[in-house]
């Protein structure tokens, strides 16, 4: 996924670019709080947390009872 399609038209600084290059758990918050992305883009990225990265690894270790 291209960071350009996830961010607004104005240029973004290096710190935001660095955060957007990371895990979906960080990307969705960056898009929401710093990137100025619309709600649809933020929601799509937030849903990736359960499938990719840290969130997916954590959920894979969850017991059937939820612990």
Residue-wise pLDDT for 8-58, tens only, equals 555 568 889 999 999 999 999 999 999 889 999 999 999 999 999 999 999
The answer to whether the beta carbons of residues 8 and 37 sit under 8 Å apart is yes
Reply yes or no on whether the pLDDT at 60 is more than 70.
yes
Residues in contact with 31: Cβ distance below 8 Å, sequence separation at least 6, in sequence order: 6, 7, 20, 37, 41, 42, 45
- Give the separation between CA 41 and CA 63, rounded to whole angstroms: 31
Overall pTM > 0.85: no
């Amino acid at each position: 996924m291209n960071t350009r399609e996830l961010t607004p038209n104005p240029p973004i600084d290096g710190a935001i670019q660095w955060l957007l290059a990371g895990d979906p758990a960080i990307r969705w918050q960056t898009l929401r709080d710093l990137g100025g992305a619309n709600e649809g883009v933020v929601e799509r990225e937030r849903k990736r947390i359960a499938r990719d990265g840290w969130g997916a690894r954590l959920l894979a270790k969850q017991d059937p009872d939820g612990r």
